[in-house]
């Protein structure tokens, strides 16, 4: 029986999320940013008044942001309207920098331009424009510049200082949140949808996931047969692990089995040099039905080394993926998230830059994508059905 009749090609563009890269259309902005130290050096030679270090920092941040925006006029492909906005932003930032150099107050204009620039970035991200490293670095610089601009207003009053701190925190949280939303929306199939971590139809992969470069095409009949055979073979080979005690006897770490997506790894199988052996998957995936019954949903197969491509037995139907920028907590040793758009992992964590390639095989009957991501709602519905089965 063909288990894959409903599947078409499932792989989108390869590579990782732009969230952790510098977008090609922003390279001109990065080059312009490289000119800022020269401009600062020239300004320091011509400066007629002694600027305290904090004001030099402000000038550097304003010039940096202006340079990036000016560079984006060259590099962006969003039309003349957006280019005009970049130009206006760059010009206003330069006006503020000039005021700082001359010792004039920058108060309201500075706050308005910087907050406007940051909020415009949020709007762009939330509308589905994937954020990148240069954009995020620029926004961090603008938030720092805003903290400096606000300091003179808040210097004398405790409440003012608190309000300034709160404003900076709100802008930082807003920037991180909008960047997450933008990165996931850009990778999702439709506006408002959130991409699964293997199958996606958006223009880019979701954060934390790397897809290999695979031509977007339909599977050939031979590949469909191969993928179907693989699914049936795996289903038969793993049937014995429906009982978690059998899996535990074979070395799978099933203690603490809970939730709808419990991965029970087998450290011995991770180093046994067997590649994509249906009888020896590196991890089993269990879900617990509402009545407490553990249900074997599928398995995860891992390649032995980072960067080693997995065998695509079913062509585009069996595309492997890897994960990138994973945070690993040391207190205790466990997954603790993905690298934030702000460049941080939760404190006490280290950053794992990339994992070996992996593939899921979902052995439960009727799984919508047997080699991709299994939708949470589908998993819950399936486990509910198992619990109510007579």
Partner 1 sequence: MELTGRRNEDFLEVARVLLLVQGAILAATTIEALFWSFVFPGAGGAFLLSAISAVVILAARIRLRADRRWSRRLVYIVEGSTLAAVAIDIVLAVVLVHAFPPLVALLTELALPISVIVLLRRSARPSTAFVPSGAVMRSEGVS
Contact residues: partner 1, CB under 8 A: 20-22, 52-54, 57, 133-134, 136-137, 140, 143-144, 147-148, 151, 161, 164-165, 168-169, 171-173, 175-176, 306-307, 325, 327, 329, 331-354
261 vs 374: CA distance, rounded Å:
10
Rg for the chain, CA atoms, rounded: 26
Strand partners, 283: 265, 300
Q: What is d(CA 217, CA 275) in angstroms, rounded to the nearest whole number?
A: 25
Query: How many other β-carbons are positioned within 10 Å of the β-carbon of residue 371?
Result: 28
CB 22 within 8 A of CB 32: no
Beta strands in the chain (DSSP E): 209-210, 262-265, 283-288, 294-302, 322-330, 333-338, 349-354, 358-362
Q: What are the distances in angstroms from CA 275 to CA 31, 123, 227, 248?
A: 44, 45, 16, 21
Q: Residue 173: which residues within 8 A CB-CB, separation 6 or more?
A: none
């Amino acid at each position: 029986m063909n288990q894959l009749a409903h599947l078409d090609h499932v792989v989108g563009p390869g590579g990782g999320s732009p969230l952790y890269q510098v977008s090609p259309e922003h390279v001109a902005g990065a080059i312009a940013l490289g000119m800022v130290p020269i401009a600062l050096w020239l300004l320091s030679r011509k400066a007629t008044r002694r600027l305290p270090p904090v004001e030099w920092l402000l000038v550097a941040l304003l010039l940096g942001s202006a340079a990036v925006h000016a560079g984006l006029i060259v590099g962006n492909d969003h039309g003349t309207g957006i280019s005009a906005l970049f130009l206006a932003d760059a010009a206003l930032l330069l006006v503020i920098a000039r005021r700082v150099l001359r010792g004039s107050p920058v108060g309201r204009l500075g706050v308005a331009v910087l907050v406007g620039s940051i909020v415009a970035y949020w709007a762009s991200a939330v509308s589905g424009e994937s954020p990148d490293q240069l954009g995020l670095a620029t926004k961090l610089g603008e938030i720092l510049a805003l903290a400096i601009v606000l300091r003179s207003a808040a210097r004398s009053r405790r409440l003012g200082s608190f309000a300034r701190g709160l404003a900076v925190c709100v802008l930082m949280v807003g920037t991180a949140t909008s960047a997450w939303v933008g990165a996931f929306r850009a990778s999702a199939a439709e506006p408002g949808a959130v991409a699964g971590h293997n199958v996606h139809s958006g223009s880019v992969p979701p954060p934390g996931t790397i897809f290999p470069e695979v031509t977007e095409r339909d599977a050939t009949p031979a590949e469909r047969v191969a993928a179907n055979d693989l699914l049936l073979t795996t289903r038969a080979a793993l049937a014995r692990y429906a009982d978690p005690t059998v899996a535990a006897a074979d070395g799978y770490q099933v203690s603490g089995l809970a939730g709808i997506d419990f991965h029970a790894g087998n450290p011995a199988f991770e180093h046994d040099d067997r590649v994509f052996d249906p009888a020896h998957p590196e991890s089993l995936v269990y879900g617990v039905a509402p009545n407490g019954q553990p249900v074997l949903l599928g398995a995860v197969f891992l390649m032995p080394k980072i960067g080693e491509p997995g065998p695509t037995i079913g062509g585009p139907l069996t595309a492997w993926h890897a994960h990138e920028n994973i945070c690993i907590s040391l207190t205790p040793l466990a997954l603790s998230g993905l690298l934030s758009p702000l460049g941080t992992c939760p404190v006490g964590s280290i950053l794992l830059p990339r994992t070996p390639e992996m593939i899921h095989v979902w052995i439960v009957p009727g799984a919508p994508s047997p080699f991709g991501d299994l939708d949470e709602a589908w998993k819950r519905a399936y486990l509910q059905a198992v619990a109510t089965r007579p």
